Amino acid sequence: MAGALPLSKTQKLLHALYYMLLFIFAVFYLLPFWGAVTTSLKSSAEVFTTSPLSFPEKLTLEGYRAAFNHLKKPLLNSLIITAGGTFFSVLLGSICGYAFAQYRFKFDNVIFVLVVSAIFLPYQAILVPLFQTIRRLGLYDTVWGLILAHTAYGIPMMTLLFRSFYGDIPRCIVQQAMLDGYRPWAIYRRIILPSTKIATVTAVVFQFASIWNELLFSLVLTGYDAMPATVSLNQMMGTLAAEWNVQMAGSMWLALPILVLYIIMGKYLIRGYMAGSVAAT
């Protein structure tokens, strides 16, 4: 590295040790993924004759084709549920966060604590009443049922996130917009949202990934019609016994959208994580 101080021998040795340790950990964490990738590219026959970690002797997309046929509808369901759940939870959480960050009203702190404390409710604790509510609403086994559940469950976290993002916007900017004649809703649309695009991207990625990967709500709130891909993949284990290449290929299909999202949004995301440390002006 240019400009860095020369290192002493002990320091060099320590550095080498650090990197070795990091490398070992990296291998350890990436091994299952590697196994999944190699297995997904093997034929059904080869899966049984070779080690899961070996490179495929003959590359084939057979597993991907089979997995896609199986997951076609669930993947579409997942996409609809995730898009809907992300859109509504981010939108509503952002509006709540705006109100809590920039306006003072009666019992605002009490209400905020109440809303945010829902983050600490474990999934399992609300599962039964949630199931009953969704069924009464006639939304069992519909994508809307899951969109509603994910929206409701996502709002507290999004509210907390957006309140801290919007709290970084100096109050005087909002006050200035008020004096310029704008109402709270217009200030939100024309000042707050455009000033915090990176925050919104961060929230979207966060919500998208957690809703896309979610299993328990989906398991309980859907039957066959609205089943998302996580549940469907889970079921493949029962129905497609030991067809490991197809199952691994299914996992790859499931991981693909998140991977693409991270690659596209990555550069914004890193800036988003640091957004709180820099003043908005």
Partner 1 sequence: MPSVSIRNLTVAYNKGRTLALDNFNLDVEDGEFCVFLGPSGCGKTTALLCIAGLLVPTTGSIKIGDQVVISEDKKTFVAPQERNIAMVFQEYALYPSMTVRGNMSFALENKKYSKEEIERKVNSIASMLGIEQLLDRKPAQLSGGQRQRVALGRALVRDPSLFLLDEPLGNLDAKLREQVRFELKRIQRRLGVTTIYVTHDQTEAMTLADRIVLMRDGKVVQEGSPKDLYHKPINTFVAGFVGTPRINFLTCDVSVKEGRPYFAFGQSALPGSQALAVTLNGKSCVVGIRPSDFMLVDTTEPEAIKGKVEVVEPLGDEIVVHFTAEDQLLVGKFSAADEEKVNERIAVKVDPDKLHIFDAETGDRIDG
Q: Which residues bind partner 1 (CB under 8 A)?
A: 170, 172-173, 175-183, 186, 190-191, 194-195, 280-281
Distances (CA, A) of 201 to 97, 198, 264, 265, 267: 15, 5, 11, 7, 10
The secondary structure of the chain in percent helix, strand, coil, rounded to multiples of 5, reads: 80, 0, 20
Q: Which is nearer to partner 1, 159 or 196 (CB)?
A: 196
Sign of the torsion angle spanned by Cα atoms 148, 154, 155, 158: negative
> Which residue bears the tokens 């474990």?
122
Q: Which is nearer to partner 1, 178 or 264 (CB)?
A: 178
Residue 196 CB, shortest distance to partner 1, in Å, is 9
* Token output for 147: 């969109």
Q: Which is nearer to partner 1, 9 or 183 (CB)?
A: 183
**Are 159 and 91 within 8 A, CB to CB?**
no
CB crowding 46-60: b at 16 or more within 10 Å, else e: bbeeeeeeeebeeeb
Residue 184 CB, shortest distance to partner 1, in Å, is 10
Q: Which is nearer to partner 1, 71 or 101 (CB)?
A: 101
Q: Which is nearer to partner 1, 195 or 213 (CB)?
A: 195
Residue 145 CB, shortest distance to partner 1, in Å, is 37
Residue 279 CB, shortest distance to partner 1, in Å, is 9
> Which residue bears the tokens 């049984």?
48
Residue 142 CB, shortest distance to partner 1, in Å, is 38
